[in-house]
Structures are given as structure tokens and as C-alpha cells.
Amino acid sequence: EDQVTQSPEALRLQEGESSSLNCSYTVSGLRGLFWYRQDPGKGPEFLFTLYSAGEEKEKERLKATLTKKESFLHITAPKPEDSATYLCAVQDHQGGSEKLVFGKGTKLTVNP
């Protein structure tokens, strides 16, 4: 069974204090790993898709990396507007199904 575990559950940072969020996963055959940002009361907003170990993607202050067992979302010099819950999901192509399985998320708070 596919599993996704995110850590920490919650993270408080000061503005400008860089850090990383972790997503560890277990899948039969990884089709893709997705990162999302979710603001309170809204649907998740797509950030990145990673497909294979060693791949990296960047967007503004965010950089996502992927290994065979986990992914990291690095946040460089965060600002208060980066406060949100960050979700990780994996898509498994085992058996032709493209089910998306999510972790429980990391709630990030960036204080000014």
C-alpha cells in the first residue's frame, strides 16, 4: 500500500530563516511526486512535480528535490506570505491506476 509521511507536522520560522520540509514515501512504482501549497479554506495549489531521483525544481524561494525514498521542500529566506500548509502526494503507476495519495501536510508559519 502506498504511504506518504510528512514531517514536521508544524514548523515556525522567523522571516529570513531558511529550512526544509520532508516527505518520505513508499510506492510500488513512482509515477510522480507532487508538492502543493494550501491556504486556509481553499483548495491545494500546485507547485511542482518530480519524476525521478536526483531531479530538482525551483520556484521563487522554494526548491524541491527527490531521492528514491523521500523529497525535500527547501524554503530559502521565507517571508510571512509563505505561511501555508504544504502537501506532498505520490502517484503510483502500479496496475495502471493513477491514484494520488497525500501526506497529512506540514503547517508552516513565518513570523515577521
Partner 1 sequence: DVKVTQSSRYLVKRTGEKVFLECVQDMDHENMFWYRQDPGLGLRLIYFSYDVKMKEKGDIPEGYSVSREKKERFSLILESASTNQTSMYLCASSSPTRAFFGQGTRLTVV
Could you say which of 14, 46, 54, 60 contacts partner 1 (CB under 8 A)? 46
Could you say which of 73, 89, 108, 110 contacts partner 1 (CB under 8 A)? 89
- Closest residue by Cα to residue 59 from 71, 39, 73, 70: 73
What minimum distance in Å lies between the beta carbon of 80 and partner 1? 23
Cell numbers linked to 74: 527547501
What minimum distance in Å lies between the beta carbon of 37 and partner 1? 11
Q: Is 21 in the site for partner 1 (CB under 8 A)?
A: no
Cell numbers linked to 34: 507532487
Cell numbers linked to 11: 514548523
Burial of residue 92, with CB atoms counted within 10 A of its CB: 0-12 exposed, 13-18 middle, 19 or more buried? buried
Q: Is 72 in the site for partner 1 (CB under 8 A)?
A: no
Where does this chain bind partner 1 (CB under 8 A)?
A: 31-32, 34, 36, 41-46, 49, 87, 89, 91, 97-105
